[in-house]
């Protein structure tokens, strides 16, 4: 079960108290708590109110106990996703459904491919990628919450963690399959593939003849096949950079045109 965030509970109590223009002493008196100091420790997230006090606070402000414990259902789902993805035995990403979705629908592939993978930076890169995965997954939940809540139906309720995660996993899988066969999906897959690998030779400006004729260069002793390979790897690198740039421009054009068309035909 999702662990209750004491600071989150404290923030919600604070916001409810303030929005109702109550002092800490006022709230303590209304729910029979020990006084201002007790309310203060709750609002700072030092301790959780006992169940009886949670019930009293919920009744005072006309909210549910679950709201006090977890926030809105959207908040609850966000925290559940964060908690699960941080777990080595994630239910949600057991078959890489979340990661596959993020690679197709977001810039996650660019983040993965753009981070250096060597030496002392490796641990930091893992942290960058992990944090990006959490952030983008939660962003996907927030931007698609209406669709997700309809998909989950009665499964989406507080403290129904495993059932929610299993159904949400299906949503990520179905959504990635749906997005993969669109222009944005195909272009993202192409771009990820291009960014994932690169030739070992990025720049080589000389021709085979120039290399062979420069007797001061150690490369002049190389066989022509090796020199020509370097020439064409550099050409391949140039093509790759141009292709990535053109794909990016095409995606931008699509998004701009879509925005104009939606505005034009919104009625």
Identify the band that residue 115 occupies on the pLDDT scale cut at 50, 70 and 90: low
Lowest-pLDDT range of 115-129, 160-174, 235-249: 115-129
Average pLDDT of the residues in 125-143: 92
8 A C-beta contact, residue 251 and residue 190: no
DSSP state letter for 119: G
Please state, rounded to an integer, the average pLDDT across all residues of the chain. Answer: 90
The CATH number for 6-70, chosen from 3.40.50.720, 3.30.365.10, 1.10.150.450, 1.10.260.40, is 1.10.260.40
Tell how far CA 262 is from the center of its chain: 27
Location of each CATH 1.10.260.40 domain in the chain: 6-70
Inform me whether the pLDDT recorded for 10 exceeds 80: yes
Inform me whether the pLDDT recorded for 117 exceeds 70: no
The pLDDT value recorded for residue 122 is 56
The pLDDT value recorded for residue 142 is 96
The pLDDT value recorded for residue 139 is 96
Q: Report how far residue 172's alpha carbon sits from residue 1's, in angstroms, rounded to the nearest whole number.
A: 21
Average pLDDT of the residues in 75-103: 93
Q: Report how far residue 93's alpha carbon sits from residue 193's, in angstroms, rounded to the nearest whole number.
A: 21
């Amino acid at each position: 079960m999702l662990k209750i965030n004491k600071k989150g509970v404290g923030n919600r109590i604070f916001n409810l108290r303030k929005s109702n223009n109550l002092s800490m002493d006022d709230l303590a008196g209304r729910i029979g708590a020990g006084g201002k100091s007790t309310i203060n420790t709750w609002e700072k997230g030092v301790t959780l109110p006992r169940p009886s006090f949670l019930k009293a606070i919920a009744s005072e402000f006309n909210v549910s106990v679950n709201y006090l414990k977890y926030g809105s259902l959207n908040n609850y789902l966000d925290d559940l996703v964060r908690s699960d993805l941080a777990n080595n035995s994630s239910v949600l990403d057991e078959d890489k459904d979340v990661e596959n979705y993020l690679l197709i629908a977001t810039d996650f592939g660019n983040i993965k491919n753009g981070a250096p993978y060597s030496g002392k930076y490796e641990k930091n890169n893992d942290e960058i990628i992990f944090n990006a995965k959490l952030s983008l997954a939660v962003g996907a939940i927030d931007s698609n919450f209406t669709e997700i809540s309809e998909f989950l139906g009665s499964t989406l309720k507080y403290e129904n963690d495993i059932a929610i995660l299993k159904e949400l996993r299906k949503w990520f899988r179905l959504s990635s399959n749906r997005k993969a066969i669109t222009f944005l999906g195909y272009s993202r897959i192409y771009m990820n593939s291009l960014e994932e690998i690169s030739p070992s030779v990025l720049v080589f400006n000389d021709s085979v003849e120039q290399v062979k004729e420069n007797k001061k260069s150690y490369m002049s002793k190389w066989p022509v096949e090796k020199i020509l390979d370097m020439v064409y790897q550099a050409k391949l690198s140039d093509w790759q950079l141009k292709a990535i740039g053109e794909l990016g421009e095409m995606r931008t054009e699509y998004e701009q045109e879509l925005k104009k068309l939606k505005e034009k035909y919104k009625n």
